[in-house]
Structure 1
Amino acid sequence: MKFNRTAKAHWKGGGKDGKGSLTTESGVLKESHYAFKTRFEDAVGTNPEELIGAAHAGCFTMQLSFFLVEEGFTAESLDTQARVYFEDGSIPKIELELKGKVPGMDESKFKELATKAKENCPVSKLLNADITLKTTFES
């Protein structure tokens, strides 16, 4: 399967005093505000790091659901948080934290498939960062 997706960024002004907007092809983001303060301080709007986190959490969780089905299981719930670390102009680390409830599965198999999903989801493959995974299995 091959496809592409498009997102656009618009920016006016300098790095610290400028502002911009982000729009996605799907329309989920439509001129969503981002700026220095939304990225490096605590202001209303989005930023590249939280969007990377959302993309990574979504990709990983969906990949895991495919691996579960391949093994004959269906998740009752999978909840993933991705914490993206920004340090000195780079993103060296992303921590994935997964909570999952999969009827009929044991914790060992759950951790095995979660690790496989972390290593194989397309966003993980794209990122040049140390990606860690913590799992919580609910029986």
Structure 2
Amino acid sequence: MKAKTTSIWHGNFKDGKGSIVAEHSALHSIVYKPNKKADEKTATNPDELLGAAHSSCYNMTLNYYLTEAGYSIDFLETSVVITDKNKVITNIDLMVTGKVHDITNDLFKQFAEKAKAGCPVGNLLKIEASLTASLQQ
């Protein structure tokens, strides 16, 4: 599968902003900018987009492995925290919680680690990523 996105930038770095369009998805005219404030809800930045790509890919990978093993999943929720120091991404922290029927916490953690190793976006990044996995009853 090929996925095409287009990013357009207008203006200088400090005052400018860009927009993103994904050709075959609901991503349309998403505004991004480097100086986005934490509470600003009208724009995103590349770190958030990267986190969204990683968490969604990880959820699909974990769901695939669990489904293939015969487990029934109510939900999986993955958060990604990306740490950036001096304009260099230094680490990524994954936190996954799920409700999966008839599985032990230890086995869930094993599947979580397998998904971490098998996630295409995570593998693309090739950065040290921590993982915290917890199962809800």
TM-score > 0.5 by shorter chain: yes
Find the residue that maps to 1:36 and give its secondary structure: coil
Task: Tell whether the 8 Å contact from 1:100 to 1:136 is kept in structure 2 after alignment.
Answer: yes
Hey, what does 1:19 align to over in structure 2?
A: 17
Matching residue's letter, 2:22:
T
Hey, what does 2:44 align to over in structure 1?
A: 46
1:17 Cα shift?
A: 2.0
Q: C-alpha distance in 1, partners of 2:32/2:68?
A: 40
Q: C-alpha distance in 2, partners of 1:81/1:101?
A: 15
Matching residue's letter, 2:59:
T
Which of 99, 103, 107 lines up with 1:101 in the alignment? 99
Structure 2's unaligned 5+ residue stretches are none
Q: % of aligned pairs identical?
A: 34
Which of 88, 108, 126 lines up with 1:110 in the alignment? 108
Q: C-alpha distance in 2, partners of 1:55/1:133?
A: 16
Structure 1's unaligned 5+ residue stretches are none
Q: Deviations over 1:40-93 (max 9, x none)?
A: x33330111111111111101110011111211121111111111111122111
1:56-135 to 2 correspondences below 5 Å: 56-135=54-133
Task: Tell whether the 8 Å contact from 1:17 to 1:36 is kept in structure 2 after alignment.
Answer: no
Q: C-alpha distance in 1, partners of 2:112/2:85?
A: 27
TM-align CA RMSD: 1.3
The normalised TM-score by structure 1 is: 0.90
Which of 17, 33, 36 lines up with 1:35 in the alignment? 33
Q: How many residues align?
A: 135
Q: C-alpha distance in 2, partners of 1:130/1:53?
A: 14
Find the residue that maps to 1:11 and give its secondary structure: strand
